[in-house]
Chains A and B, each alone.
Chain A
Amino acid sequence: MDYSQFLSMQAELSLLAVIIVLFVADLFMSADNKGGKGVYNTPLPVALLALHTLFLLYSLCPQSGSCHHALSAGSAFGGMFLSTPMTTIVKLTLNLGTLIVFLMAHRWLSREENLVKQGEFYIITLFTLLGMYFMMSSGHFLMFFIGLELASVPISALVAFDKYRYESAEAAAKFILLALFSASLLLYGVSLIYGCSGSLYFADISRFFPSVDALFLLGVAFFVAGMGFKLSLVPFHLWTADTYQGAPTVVTAHLSVLSKGAAAFTLLSILIHFSFNEIIFQAWNEVFVWLIIASITVGNLFAIRQRNLKRFMAFSAISQAGYLILPILGGTAQGMSSMVYYLIVYTVANLGAFAVINTIEQHSGKLLIDDYNGLYRTNPKLSFLLTLCLFSLAGIPPFAGFFSKFFVFMAAFSAGWHWVVLVALINTVISLYYYLLIVKAMYILPSETPISPFRSDRYTRAALFICLAGVILLGLVGSLYTYIDTFSFGV
């Protein structure tokens, strides 16, 4: 066996190293926490993950002589595992997202009932990250499925993390049942695809497949349905609101950004493998047009009526998922860069909003939009940050969300889907309405019992700082998009 193949798996190996170090540290360090304060706390996992992120970042630098593996597309194990610069960029984004989630989680994990299991939280979260890595780098359906399961099964443990809370357990049950159901649908679809084409390698399927028949399209349909669950696209979104509401807020943040982003990117990478076959490509596009329009519209319309912020963010995330996969239409290189760019911007903006929601929940226990009335008078900085993040999500300049939305629309438009772009654009106005409802609560509506002023912990402030910097700078500084674009179609 050629062990140099492992060199193209640098990201996975270094993440595995982080997990093992954390695991060992957990065994030896956290045994003694009589004082109510764990011996090992947030700094260690954050530092390790940051180190891992820096390592990935370093490997993306074109100058560094020895680290060309990340820049050049490499494959390992006979094409089961593919590594490209673009996947490395997405992995980096997910890393950054996980880092922000860790920073947010500090106060929640320091609670009495969570202190003993904080090690588990970090390790489980990192395992889902590892699963996403494998899923994105897969060149074969088997590898893809292993990654998918590794990414989704541990999440149900995270959703049930507040196990003494009734809603948390309920949310986890809903999540795991539907995740397994969707996984089995997906597997059935994959088996049909295999039956038609005789191969599980993405690259081979379109190459060897002479013509399209109904069975194959059925397989593709099952596959898309399975992925639709992951992405919470309408009509596969029914688990989303309940799970988001029941899960601990930190986990909701993780769910709404990371697993969604990984699934969207994987979907596009697979579509691009298939796009050599004109007929599959057409059928796939037709399906996605309706999925996208349904997700954006239904997500928006349901979000308007929500009173609970986590449910609200759930429907907002459904509609954002629609925007995220909008550039899938046409499967162009421009679409890929704009999707990755959208994902990066969405990560910082959505996690920033969740960081504010989480810190307010941890300090005051309030989660309803009405509770936010008059927040600006008592906590001006937090409400200002939340406003910026919501504006970014709604696509208001000069925040990054405007740029990412513009580019996503531009990609779909250049692929010829003019009317879909128009529908999506009109939907942005609806989404602006409900984002403004929260802004209105914070700035305009008075309150008898406002949330009292408090100072959030320094980890949350660090997370908010990262998000704020991202929301302001990612758009105005144009070089990020240009950099991403140089690697587009490296799949």
Chain B
Amino acid sequence: MNFLSIFVLIPLLMLLGLWAARNLNQVRGVMVTGSTALLALSVYLVFAFLDARSLDPQSEMLFVKSIEWFPPLHITYTVGVDGISVAMLLLSAVIVFTGTFASWQLRPLTKEYFLWFTLLSMGVFGFFITIDMFAMFMFYEIALIPMYLLIGVWGSGRKEYSAMKLTLMLMGGSAFLMCGIFGIFYGAGGQTMNIIDIANQTGGAHAIDGNWQMLWFPMTFVGFGILGALFPFHTWSPDGHASAPTAVSMLHAGVLMKLGGYGCFRIAMYLLPEAANELSWIFLILTGISVVYGAFSACVQTDLKYINAYSSVSHCGLVLFAICMATETASVGAILQMLSHGLMTALFFALIGFIYGRTHTRDIRELAGLMKIMPFLAVCYVIAGLANLGLPGLSGFVAEMTIFVGSFENPGTFYTAMTVIACTSIVITAVYILRLVGKILYGTPTNPHHLQLTDATWDERFSVICLILAVAGLGLAPFWVSDMIQTGVHPVIEQLQAAGSLFDSHSNPFL
């Protein structure tokens, strides 16, 4: 048994523990023990990975272990990590850990809530450790379905509508995705589901025919892209986030949307490089729209959660945008942006949840002067806002900087123009963040009832401080992360360059 599988084993044990738990304290005990163990394990993994990487700089995946699962169909349970997945595992562990504390006060049906919550995190961890397409897809779907009940039962507002819309849109995406996976599997000879084998054409796989790639690439990219809030399939995201309970928004924006970007990069770009070079201009335009449109939409919203949800659309659009740029720097930036966005959106949603829990409104027209009433939460909100608009020293700056520098590396008017358009989102982000901060935090409180409200409790402070430390840590010392990511990005970019370049695209009318 490889130690990576412990990432799936711990949630499994947590599920059993929750099943057996009889009262609230036992439920909390199981959750805290489990999520701490996951966090510790992912920190240990970082060090173990860095050690192993310095000994073995060549192989793409480390700690690889394969177990036969369905031999007649060439399906295996194969685990392995590279720099990207290690970073993602760390992110997921942080969010699950803080999410546990953020839902400390949640009622009713706490046990059931944590059951689905844990099942969701099991899917997320499983997705990041496996490198077999079937196993990845299975964990991907495991992560999606608990969302329905988490939003539907414990959500607020139009929760039934939002939960159904979210589930159906994401499942629609995975229908296309499944087709794409079949296409890749049979296109490469139908001998192996292992991503590394297909990419390197080992283990019985051969190159996928270029014409078929043109069919499977859009399916796979859109399939994952729906989860990454790709325009025009992003509409589930604002509704879903607005209706979800606090920790679920955190987990969803913080981790689940990263599954989309990771999948696009790891499966669509890596395994279908010819089509990626040929067709990425289409997705570049779509993601460019996501970036700008998301930011503009955030400007006109009045609900705190909707603002943050559209801001997520914009920032996650930037992830896919950078992936489509297909340069090494931009791709590193994309992964950094996933980390940074995951942490700061989780922070944002946590704070919004805490404020909403006190004021019972998320309408910014009814909120004012919170700085006087709940200074701790308000200061944290300012920090989150600054990270969001890319203040140097916090994580957002590092990620966006890397993305735009990487995007400018692509010569050609089309790519430069797209980069400039995407850059404008920084300004628009500043507009809505500063407007928001000024509106709800400063000024004098208008609602007399709000004056009696209290500041954050210990569990809330704890989860918020953890997230702020992570955001600042990533912003101040980005290099150990970006170096680690670079080793993971390198093989994918090599694969893309071996298959041609973005400028060979015959279908791009802008070239």
Which residue of A has the minimal Cβ distance to B164?
A436
Which of B69, B141, B175 is in CB contact (< 8 Å) with A478?
A: B69
Distance in angstroms between the alpha carbons of A391 and B167 in the assembled complex: 13
Verify A402–B149 contact, CB threshold 8 A: no
Question: What string of 1s and 0s marks CB contacts (under 8 Å) between A376-406 and chain B?
Answer: 0000000000000001000011100010001
Which residues in B have their C-beta under 8 angstroms from that of A466? Answer: none
Which residue of A has the minimal Cβ distance to B216?
A418
Interface residues of B in 167-205 (CB under 8 A from A): 167-168, 171-172, 175-176, 178-179, 182-183, 185-186, 190
Chain A proximity of B16: nearest CB distance (Å): 13
Verify A397–B171 contact, CB threshold 8 A: no
Verify A432–B72 contact, CB threshold 8 A: no
With most chain B CB atoms within 10 A of its CB, the pick from A337, A409, A443, A478 is A478
Chain A proximity of B233: nearest CB distance (Å): 13
Chain A proximity of B473: nearest CB distance (Å): 35
Distance in angstroms between the alpha carbons of A439 and B172 in the assembled complex: 19
Task: Say yes or no: A439-B148 contact (C-beta < 8 A), given A426-B172, A478-B70, A481-B72.
Answer: yes
Q: Is B134 on the interface with A (CB-CB < 8 A)?
A: yes
Which residues in A have their C-beta under 8 angstroms from that of B70? Answer: 407, 478, 481-482
Which residues in A have their C-beta under 8 angstroms from that of B152? Answer: 440, 443-444
Q: Is A303 on the interface with B (CB-CB < 8 A)?
A: no
Verify B72–A426 contact, CB threshold 8 A: no
Which residues in A have their C-beta under 8 angstroms from that of B364? Answer: none
Distance in angstroms between the alpha carbons of A33 and B80 in the assembled complex: 66
Verify A410–B73 contact, CB threshold 8 A: yes
Verify A397–B149 contact, CB threshold 8 A: no
Which residue of A has the minimal Cβ distance to B179?
A422
Which residue of A has the minimal Cβ distance to B152?
A444
Q: Is A281 on the interface with B (CB-CB < 8 A)?
A: no
Interface residues of A in 292-350 (CB under 8 A from B): 334, 337
Q: Is B477 on the interface with A (CB-CB < 8 A)?
A: no
Which residues in B have their C-beta under 8 angstroms from that of A391? Answer: 145
Interface residues of B in 143-161 (CB under 8 A from A): 145, 148-149, 152-153, 159-160
Chain B proximity of A487: nearest CB distance (Å): 11
Which residue of B has the minimal Cβ distance to A395?
B141
Chain A proximity of B415: nearest CB distance (Å): 33
Which residues in B have their C-beta under 8 angstroms from that of A26? Answer: none
Q: Is A414 on the interface with B (CB-CB < 8 A)?
A: yes
Distance in angstroms between the alpha carbons of A444 and B116 in the assembled complex: 15
Interface residues of A in 347-372 (CB under 8 A from B): none
With most chain A CB atoms within 10 A of its CB, the pick from B69, B73, B149, B160 is B73
Which residue of A has the minimal Cβ distance to B109?
A376
Which of A406, A418, A485 is in CB contact (< 8 Å) with B72?
A: A485
Verify B179–A406 contact, CB threshold 8 A: no
Which residue of B has the minimal Cβ distance to A412?
B182
Distance in angstroms between the alpha carbons of A385 and B373 in the assembled complex: 47
Q: Is A429 on the interface with B (CB-CB < 8 A)?
A: yes
Which residues in A have their C-beta under 8 angstroms from that of B182? Answer: 409-410, 413, 418, 421
Q: Is B138 on the interface with A (CB-CB < 8 A)?
A: yes
Distance in angstroms between the alpha carbons of A482 and B75 in the assembled complex: 11
Task: Say yes or no: A398-B138 contact (C-beta < 8 A), given A410-B182, A433-B168, A481-B70.
Answer: yes
Which of B72, B141, B159, B168 is in CB contact (< 8 Å) with A397?
A: B141
Q: Is B64 on the interface with A (CB-CB < 8 A)?
A: no
Q: Is A460 on the interface with B (CB-CB < 8 A)?
A: no
Verify B175–A425 contact, CB threshold 8 A: yes
Which residues in A have their C-beta under 8 angstroms from that of B190? Answer: 414
Distance in angstroms between the alpha carbons of A337 and B134 in the assembled complex: 18
Q: Is A98 on the interface with B (CB-CB < 8 A)?
A: no
Q: Is A428 on the interface with B (CB-CB < 8 A)?
A: yes
Verify B178–A402 contact, CB threshold 8 A: no
Distance in angstroms between the alpha carbons of A426 and B171 in the assembled complex: 9
Where chain A touches its partner, the secondary structure class is helix
Chain B proximity of A338: nearest CB distance (Å): 9
Which of B68, B153, B164, B178 is in CB contact (< 8 Å) with A406?
A: B178
Q: Is B71 on the interface with A (CB-CB < 8 A)?
A: yes
Q: Is B142 on the interface with A (CB-CB < 8 A)?
A: yes
Which of B72, B149, B175, B185 is in CB contact (< 8 Å) with A482?
A: B72
Verify B175–A426 contact, CB threshold 8 A: yes
Distance in angstroms between the alpha carbons of A402 and B142 in the assembled complex: 10
Distance in angstroms between the alpha carbons of A373 and B190 in the assembled complex: 46
Distance in angstroms between the alpha carbons of A433 and B142 in the assembled complex: 17
Which residues in B have their C-beta under 8 angstroms from that of A413? Answer: 179, 182, 186
Chain B proximity of A245: nearest CB distance (Å): 26
Chain A proximity of B467: nearest CB distance (Å): 30
Which residues in A have their C-beta under 8 angstroms from that of B139? Answer: 397
Which of A337, A402, A481 is in CB contact (< 8 Å) with B141?
A: A402
Count of A-B contacts with CB under 8 A? 80
Chain B proximity of A427: nearest CB distance (Å): 9
Which residue of B has the minimal Cβ distance to A391?
B145
Verify A428–B160 contact, CB threshold 8 A: no
Which residue of B has the minimal Cβ distance to A445?
B160
Verify A433–B164 contact, CB threshold 8 A: yes
Distance in angstroms between the alpha carbons of A485 and B70 in the assembled complex: 10
Distance in angstroms between the alpha carbons of A429 and B134 in the assembled complex: 19
Chain B proximity of A389: nearest CB distance (Å): 14
Verify B179–A337 contact, CB threshold 8 A: no
Question: What string of 1s and 0s marks CB contacts (under 8 Å) between B61-102 and chain A?
Answer: 000000011111101000000000000000000000000000
Which residues in B have their C-beta under 8 angstroms from that of A429? Answer: 168, 171-172, 175
Verify A407–B141 contact, CB threshold 8 A: no
Chain A proximity of B155: nearest CB distance (Å): 9
Chain A proximity of B72: nearest CB distance (Å): 4
Verify A432–B179 contact, CB threshold 8 A: no
Which of A402, A407, A443, A485 is in CB contact (< 8 Å) with B153?
A: A443
Which residues in A have their C-beta under 8 angstroms from that of B149? Answer: 439, 443
Question: What string of 1s and 0s marks CB contacts (under 8 Å) between B41-78 and chain A?
Answer: 00000000000000000000000000011111101000
Chain B proximity of A419: nearest CB distance (Å): 9
Distance in angstroms between the alpha carbons of A480 and B70 in the assembled complex: 9
Task: Say yes or no: A397-B69 contact (C-beta < 8 A), given A429-B168, A439-B148.
Answer: no
Interface residues of A in 62-93 (CB under 8 A from B): none
Distance in angstroms between the alpha carbons of A418 and B176 in the assembled complex: 11
Verify A406–B142 contact, CB threshold 8 A: no
Distance in angstroms between the alpha carbons of A334 and B73 in the assembled complex: 9
Chain A proximity of B380: nearest CB distance (Å): 32
Verify B183–A397 contact, CB threshold 8 A: no
Which residue of A has the minimal Cβ distance to B149?
A443
Verify B178–A409 contact, CB threshold 8 A: yes
Distance in angstroms between the alpha carbons of A407 and B73 in the assembled complex: 8
Distance in angstroms between the alpha carbons of A482 and B179 in the assembled complex: 23
Verify A418–B183 contact, CB threshold 8 A: yes
Distance in angstroms between the alpha carbons of A421 and B142 in the assembled complex: 21
Which residue of A has the minimal Cβ distance to B190?
A414
Verify A397–B142 contact, CB threshold 8 A: yes
Distance in angstroms between the alpha carbons of A397 and B159 in the assembled complex: 24
Distance in angstroms between the alpha carbons of A337 and B186 in the assembled complex: 18
Which residues in A have their C-beta under 8 angstroms from that of B185? Answer: 410
Task: Say yes or no: A440-B72 contact (C-beta < 8 A), given A409-B178, A413-B182, A432-B168.
Answer: no
Question: What string of 1s and 0s marks CB contacts (under 8 Å) between A422-463 and chain B?
Answer: 100110110011001001100110000000000000000000
Verify B179–A421 contact, CB threshold 8 A: yes
Chain A proximity of B240: nearest CB distance (Å): 15
Which residues in B have their C-beta under 8 angstroms from that of A426? Answer: 172, 175
22 contacts between A and B (CB under 8 A): A337-B72, A391-B145, A397-B142, A398-B138, A409-B178, A410-B185, A413-B179, A418-B179, A418-B183, A421-B182, A422-B175, A425-B175, A425-B179, A426-B172, A428-B175, A429-B172, A433-B168, A440-B152, A444-B153, A478-B70, A481-B70, A481-B72
B-to-A contact residues, CB < 8 Å: 68-73, 75, 134, 138-139, 141-142, 145, 148-149, 152-153, 159-160, 164, 167-168, 171-172, 175-176, 178-179, 182-183, 185-186, 190
Q: Which 6 A-B pairs have the closest CB atoms?
A: A425-B175, A485-B72, A413-B182, A478-B69, A397-B138, A444-B152
Instruction: Known pairs A410-B182, A429-B168, A440-B152; list 4 more (Cβ under 8 Å).
Output: A334-B72, A407-B70, A429-B171, A478-B70
